[in-house]
Amino acid sequence: MKKDINKILWILIIILSVLIIAVTVTLIVYYSTDRTPDSKYYRQDECINKYSDIITKYSIKYKVDENLIKAMIMAESSFNKDAVSKSGAIGLMQMMPSTYNDLKEKLGFTLPPEEALKDPETNIACGVYYYATYCSVVGGTNASLAAYNCGPNRVRSWMTELGGEVDIAVEDIPIESVKTYVKRIMKYYNSYCLYYGEAPDYDSVLLPRETALEYAKKYGQKYKVDYNLIMAIIETESSFYCYRTSKTGAIGLMQIMPDTFSVDIAQNLNLEDNPDQLYDPEFNIMCGAYLLHWLDYRLDGINEISISYHVGVTQIKSWLEDDNYSENGRLITDKLPEEAQNYLFKVMGHYRRSIRLDGEDKGYKFD
């Protein structure tokens, strides 16, 4: 019995010793690693931070995991914006000039590829769009990454040969260089998830009501708009989800269409004509408040202004000229199409809710 106890103690001592050695070696390696500004570890983190806002912006826009985009950039160019491959791929996400030429009209770019793709934002915008639109539709993550590397059509043919599964196992990728490419990205991806945390689901990011109210009051005062109505429009349009994009392309908290932004907001306020800015919560509320001010300049009455936010000024003026829908220059709301009635009902419900929760705007009231 005593021998058995001694044997167990020796085994425990050996296990403990091995653990101590392993921890000691890990600490030595970590603290002896060069992390000065010239080291690769420092440079990588510095570069990711340098481009993180751009990566987040287009990851949100095209609904892609931003850690995966970071991993792709690391595998493609090691975050070197001036990288050019032997095959002619350019920049951070190693876009081919021919691919850029196919995409540039859709994305609103005009510069030649040799110049445009050296710009980090243009390169990332094109790379993320290409991955989200042409590659991720092929299948799961492995298949999508393989498609980014060697083309969607080739990957589709592999998957058909393998029985049409939704993804492809890394080991089933028939080209060794593509297999290695996917493995590298997934290695970086797993590291970034551990280091930066898993990327948030941007579709579920809510702006706190108190923050929305702060912006509503700020820009309500600036543009002489009832902040209760701003809050009501936000709650009706997006339920305070910051990055919501509708099927028709309306963006953000106040669901502003890119064309409306370009024509009615950006031109009048001398803003850069870039609808992607609408994903920023404060900027979106500023633009929405200005749009309500713009509508107030053209229409009278809170009902008319509220419904016009949804259907447009032209439609409201058409109804106002029709005796079936209006009387004495005001809309007869219960005669309007059901969709317009339902929208107004929601807005007015949220308007009363805002007065109760946020306090009444006594400075600016629509009739």
Which sequence positions are flagged as catalytic? Answer: 76
Q: At residue 206, what is the residue type?
A: L
In angstroms, how far apart are the furthest CA atoms of the chain?
Answer: 105
Phi-psi region of 127 (alpha: psi -120 to 50; beta: other; left: phi over 0): alpha
Closest CA to 230 of 306, 281, 303: 306
Element (H, E) at 331: strand 330-331
Query: C-alpha angle with apex 42: 56 to 131, nearest 5 degrees?
Result: 30
3-class DSSP state for residue 326?
Answer: strand
Residues 191 and 68: beta-carbon distance below 8 Å: no
Q: Could you give the CA distance from residue 291 to residue 264 in angstroms, rounded to a whole number?
A: 8
Q: Where are the alpha helices (DSSP H) in 263-337?
A: 267-269, 281-298, 302-311, 313-320
- 101 vs 91, 96, 187, 240, CA distance in Å? 15, 9, 31, 37
Question: Which DSSP letter does residue 336 get?
Answer: S
Would you state the torsion angle of the CA atoms of residues 177, 182, 187, 190, taken in this order, to the nearest 10 degrees?
180
DSSP class per residue in 28-63 = HHHHHS--STTSHHHHHHHHHHHHHHHHHHHHHHHT
Q: Could you give the CA distance from residue 283 to residue 272 in angstroms, rounded to a whole number?
A: 12
**Whose structure tokens read 């044997």?**
7
Taking the CA atoms of 21, 25, 26 and 31 in sequence, report the sign of the dihedral they define. Answer: positive
- Name every residue whose Cβ is closer than 8 Å to that of residue 67 and which is 6 or more positions away in sequence: 189, 192, 193, 196, 198, 199
